[in-house]
Structure 1
Amino acid sequence: MATFDTDLIIAGGGLAGATLALAVARAVPSLRVTVVEAFPLSPDALPESYQPSYDARSTALAWGSRLIFEELGLWQRLAEHATPIKHIHVSDRGHFGATRLHAVDHGQEALGYVADNRWMGLCLMRELLDTGVQWRAPAEVTDMIPMPGGVRVRLSEGDDTREMSARCLVVADGGRSGLREKLGFQPDRHSYGQNALIANVSTSDSHDFTAFERFTEAGPMALLPHGSPARAGHQSALVWTLSDDALGQVLELSDEEKCRWLQKRFGWRLGRFTRIGTCHHYPLTLTTVSEPVRPGVALVGNAAHALHPVAGQGFNLALRGLMTLVEQFRLAEENGLGIGDLEVLGRYQSLHRQDWQQTVRFSDSLIRLFGQPMAPVVAARDAGLVGLDLLPGAKRWFARKAMGLGGRRAVIDRPGNHPQETIGHE
């Protein structure tokens, strides 16, 4: 029987990779895990030293993601700087259609949360310090060769190159590193011809823990409550969809002019826009890999599927997929199977496929529906928004989608726990 340097190599130590490492450490502590991360790690970067920044990038966490982080023992710390979304307001600019969701109507304290990416990373790192997970940073996975029962991975560490063997490689470094293509996976890409502009903004009126999804003729615009988790404030996280031409125009504007342009398109539901922070932007592309596994290798997160941010489901979908993969690792260990066996990874793909296909269809259909300017389509979608607001069944379905409760979610079975089900519907 072949011997391996480690059991699992995770290429990428960002939010997806670090969460996967922690979940494996919690659920399958017998597995040796090595995370390979391109950026150096600072031993001083811990939650205790965290100071929120106005320009911090953030992620929308669905209620279902909170449940996963609770299972990982991470939520209590994360919640210290996670702003709750208690209300969601969806509207179509210039038309009467609108729908509103309220957490209290669904027996929840929140529909979701908004957390700074850096804060989430620090919380994950704090928890990982108490596990046996090994880190190689700064380092990158540059190639992989199949071997009996596993893979041999080539690592680049500065000017040095070395190899490590493992039973399985998980690619969790996003869709831009090039590793996915280097390993022979072919993604399907559909460009939306749009860009996402990301920034934090301040308004004269309090957000009252409300997330706004505003569909405009130029594309969707989202404002998510940001800042204190205990007191409704005036800061929101903006995701603004713009064409190439419009993006170029906006980036040339002064901050005051950006606020005026934003005001014209969003309206006055939050009063006057008083400040906009550092703007980041990236092109919007629907990217999927139809076969994200092969013997010894699995793609997860944005490496497997990158969505339009319209519904804020990207990381939440990835998180559900990670838990499904961890559950398959646990079952493989219990049944004497290799964690990189195609039978094991194929089971993960089969279970996760329906979730990501449904989520992709949901997000993509919103873009196509609200991107249609024809009068009959406008009338139909406005009627649909009103219907969502008036029909309890339809509204509950929409709320469950927004809360990330529509897909399969694996339950972490820690040693000593014996849940009645290990895979269940939320």
Structure 2
Amino acid sequence: MKHSDTDVIIAGGGLAGATLALALARVAPALKVTVAETFPLSADALPESYQPSYDARSTALAWGSRLIFEELGLWSRLSEHATPIRQIHVSDRGHFGATRLNAKEYEQQALGYVVDNRWMGLCLMRELLETDTRWRAPAEVIDMKSSEQGVSVTLKSGDEISNTTAQCLIVADGGRSGLREKLGFQPSHHNYEQNALIANVSTSESHQFTAFERFTEAGPMAMLPHGSPSHAGHQSALVWTLSDEELEAVLAMPDSDKCQRLQERFGWRLGRFTRIGQCNHYPLTLTTVDEPVRPGVALVGNAAHALHPVAGQGFNLALRGLMTLVEQFRLATEQGRSPGDFQILRRYHELHRPDWQQTVKFSDSLIRIFGQSPAPVAAARDAGLVGLDLLPGAKRLFARNAMGTGGRRAVIKKPGFNEQPSHHQRETSEHE
């Protein structure tokens, strides 16, 4: 490989960028990795202990994602504040159709987990501080050009502009920074003409570690168990789909009226809604990039594909893609090739493409099918939900998608950094 300031520069130090940096440090430690992050970072600023906040934003991690974090040596720390999902209940409001998934049916400890984003970020940062990963923070990647060394990346920090050379640029800063478009990538957008309202809620009945996927005539909603990892509590993470008009009306309501409106939409499976926390919201759009790689540059995470949040597949899909990319970078270093070699990046895309196509189809079809209200369509989907319970093969396929084990598993070889899986976990992995 030609000489450059760094081998891989990652634009964005959020969950996707930080996970990629940690995976490269574990799996391909010979690569020099630099992360450019817009927020200032300091080891002194990391708290010694974590105190969960009621209003913390969270992410649903599938069982397959747990296996990846185990491979990276992160799960033992991450699991301290990871609420297990032991059952998933999928239903259609006002209709008889429903299906239920239970971790015990698949001999798993859980179908997935709910983890606060801030806790996940702290765990990643603590691990990364023990690696040779370099940080440019606060700094933002604003441009890239091909160079003799590979790529020349332009960084902006305050009013200061600088350039650094790298073998490969990884865009992991989401889809809103504009860097993706500035580099010439062409995303496709499908506007669902809906918004996601995100908040934590409390209910009079315990969630019993159950996640609810509830489809209503006004749009889908999800309730994920949140809080203690060991005691079934009364707090859940809400994803509520609303039209523009409904969102405006709900946001203007006092909390008691918000709870009442939520009660009308969700029902009484968790008893009475007693509290709703800080509400965040954003418009819902399915975004994909058909060709997310070019010589010397690749898009990952939300920069490559952003999904509807109700199915909880977005970060899990991104995580599998990151590990596929790391797998190809490891092979490149063993072969003495540049990580920015287009053949290396194209091979990553070819391996990851079937997974993201299947996951996008799975997530999008749920929204489209359950977003239609005509009686024949409603009857057909209700019969389908009942059929999932009656047909073991169909239900297992649905479960594999929900648990994030239906996609390709990257072949990862590390010099002794992974946590040793239990006998049960080895059997599960072999079965998958």
**TM-score, structure 2 length as denominator?**
0.96
Q: Which residue of 2 aligns with 1:67?
A: 67
Alignment match, 2:316 = 316
Structure 1 Cα separation of the partners of residues 111 and 166 of structure 2 = 40
- Matching of residue 136 in structure 1 with residue 136 in structure 2: yes
Contact persistence 2:36–2:136 (CA under 8 A): yes
Classify the secondary structure of the residue corresponding to 2:383: helix
Distance in 1 (CA, whole Å) between partners of 2:202 and 2:45 is 28
What's the counterpart of residue 389 of structure 2?
389
- One-letter code of the match for 2:67? L
Partner of 1:377: 377
Instruction: After TM superposition, give the deviation of residue 149 of structure 1 in Å.
Output: 4.8
Instruction: Tell me if the contact between 2:4 and 2:149 (Cα under 8 Å) persists in the aligned partners.
Output: no
In 2, the alpha carbon distance for the partners of 1:425 and 1:333 equals 31
| Cα distance, 1:416 vs structure 2 | 5.8
Equivalent position of 1:229 in the other structure: 229
1:46 Cα deviation (Å)?
3.5
Inter-partner Cα distance in structure 1 for 2:397 and 2:48: 39
User: 1:148-187 to 2 correspondence within 5 Å?
Assistant: 148-187=148-187
RMSD: 1.5
Render the CA deviation track for 1:343-384: whole Å, top value 9, x for unaligned: 000000000000000000011111110011111110000000
C-alpha distance in structure 2 between counterparts of 1:33 and 1:425, whole Å? 35
Does the 8 A contact of 2:73 with 2:417 survive in 1?
A: no
Mapped to 2, the partners of 1:207 and 1:256 lie a distance apart of 20
How far apart, CA to CA, are the structure 2 residues paired with 1:47 and 1:347?
40
Please tell me the residue identity of whatever aligns with 1:175.
G
> Partner of 1:204 in structure 2?
204
Q: What's 2:270 paired with?
A: 270
Paired AA for residue 64 in structure 2: G
SS at match of 2:10: strand
Q: Is the 8 A contact 1:23 1:412 kept in 2?
A: no
> Per-residue displacement from partner, 1:248-272 (whole Å, max 9, x unpaired)?
1100000000000000000000000
% identical equivalent positions: 77
Q: Conserved in 2, the CA contact under 8 Å of 1:23 and 1:326? A: yes
Shift in Å at residue 411 of structure 1?
Answer: 3.2
* In structure 1, distance between residues paired with 2:45 and 2:266: 37
* AA matched with 2:46: L
Question: Aligned ranges for residues 12-411 of structure 1 at < 5 Å?
Answer: 12-46=12-46, 48-411=48-411
Q: CA deviation at 1:279?
A: 0.2
Counterpart Cα distance in 2 of 1:384 and 1:224: 23
Query: Does the Cα contact within 8 Å between 2:72 and 2:417 map onto a contact in 1?
Result: no
TM-fit CA distance, 1:337: 1.4
Cα distance between partner residues in 2 of 1:417 and 1:246: 49
Q: For 2:192 and 2:149, how far apart are their aligned partners in 1?
A: 41
8 A Cα contact 2:213 2:223, kept in partner: yes
Listed as ranges, the gaps of 5+ residues in structure 2 are 419-428
Equivalents in 2 of 1:379, 1:278: separation in Å? 37
Shift of 1:335: 1.1
Contact 1:72 1:412 (8 Å CA) reproduced: no
Offset at residue 47 of structure 1 (A): 6.0
Q: Deviations over 1:310-346 (max 9, x none)?
A: 2100000000000000000000111121110000000
- 1:57-95: CA deviation from partner (whole Å, max 9, x where unpaired): 000000000000000000000000000000000000000
For the residue of structure 1 that corresponds to 2:64, the secondary structure is helix
Per the alignment, do residues 84 and 417 of structure 1 end up closer, same or farther by CA in structure 2, a change over 3 Å counting?
closer
Aligned partners of 1:237, 1:72: CA distance in 2, in Å?
Answer: 27
Post-superposition Cα deviations, 1:3-42, rounded to whole Å, max 9, x if no partner, equal: 2000000000000000000000000000000000001113
Q: Partner letter of residue 203 of structure 1? A: T
| Alpha-carbon distance in structure 2 between the residues aligned to 1:31 and 1:314 | 27
Measured after TM superposition, the shift of residue 48 of structure 1 is: 3.0
Corresponding position of 2:424: none
Per-residue CA deviations over 1:81-123 (Å, capped at 9, x if unaligned) read 0000000000000000000000001100100000000000000
Q: Which amino acid aligns with 1:223?
A: M
CA distance in 2, matches of 1:60, 1:238: 11
Question: Does the aligned pair in 2 maintain the 1:92–1:216 contact within 8 Å?
Answer: yes
Q: 8 Å contact 2:26–2:417 — kept in the other structure?
A: no
8 Å CA contact retained: 1:65, 1:404: yes
Matched-pair contact (CA < 8 Å) for 1:92–1:98: yes
- Cα contact 1:24–1:31 (8 A) shared by 2: yes
- SS of equivalent to 2:48: helix
Structure 2 residue matching 1:393: 3-state secondary structure: helix
**C-alpha distance in 1, partners of 2:409/2:106?**
20
Tell me by how many angstroms 1:43 deviates: 2.1
- The alignment's TM-score, normalised by the length of structure 1, stands at 0.97
* Cα distance in 2 between the residues matched to 1:425 and 1:338: 35
The DSSP-based 3-state class of the residue aligned with 1:410 is coil
Cα distance, 1:2 vs structure 2: 3.8
SS at match of 1:48: coil
Which runs of no fewer than 5 residues in structure 1 stay unpaired? none
